[in-house]
Amino acid sequence: MAALAAAGKVDLAFIRAQAPIILAAAPLTIFISIVSISIAVVFAVLGSLGRISRSAPIYALATLYVSLVRGTPLIVQILFVYLALPQFGIVLPALQTGILALAFNYGAYMTEIFRAGIQAVPRGQLDAAHALGMTDRDTLRRIVLPQALRIVTPAIGNEFIAMIKDSALVSIVGVQEMLFFARIIGSQKFRSFETFMIAALVYWILTMTFSFFQEALERRLAESDRRI
């Protein structure tokens, strides 16, 4: 970087001036990611219950959801929500569009993760809960889902990291998050190298910070597994 600056290829003064504007958009990126992943978890729990349901229509619906969403590009889904749904009278602002599309998309991927997690809970756990007289609902809520959640935590963490990065895609519908500013400022001033470097660095720091918390969380969840 220093060498590039010395050669006059990188404008450090420009970085100093513009970085705060791009950085100021970082909270929105974090906000979009957190809200989207939270809604995606709800989609995923419902989707996974559908995927293990004995009711054929529910199973079919959940399977269609996963297949459809995983079979189409995320950017198409974002544009579809923003530009195609208005034809049916559904007009969502850019931010809501982005969050809905991200949550819907990640919900489908995480559906399969949750399904695998639920099915990884041993059969004996269900037998024990039923034998104690617990209802199906309590068994699911108190016995199966907590254990499934622990099984899927590492995978969900990876999804969250991917979500932080994919949240950049919502800039295409005009959500003013980090990439939006990096793109606008960079092209206005013909300094895209600098602005994209800043944005990339922030994404990297965000994902590394999150990885750190993820490891801490996994350690905490593993407490009940520790023997000593």
User: Which parts of this chain interact with another protein (CB under 8 A)?
Assistant: 122, 124-125, 127-135, 138, 142-143, 146-147, 150, 223-228
Closest CB 52 distance from another protein, rounded Å? 17
Q: Which is nearer to another protein, 7 or 228 (CB)?
A: 228
Closest CB 146 distance from another protein, rounded Å? 5
Q: Which is nearer to another protein, 61 or 149 (CB)?
A: 149
Q: Which is nearer to another protein, 143 or 198 (CB)?
A: 143
Closest CB 223 distance from another protein, rounded Å? 7
Q: Which is nearer to another protein, 72 or 125 (CB)?
A: 125
User: Distance between CA 102 and CA 227 in Å, rounded?
Assistant: 40
Closest CB 54 distance from another protein, rounded Å? 9
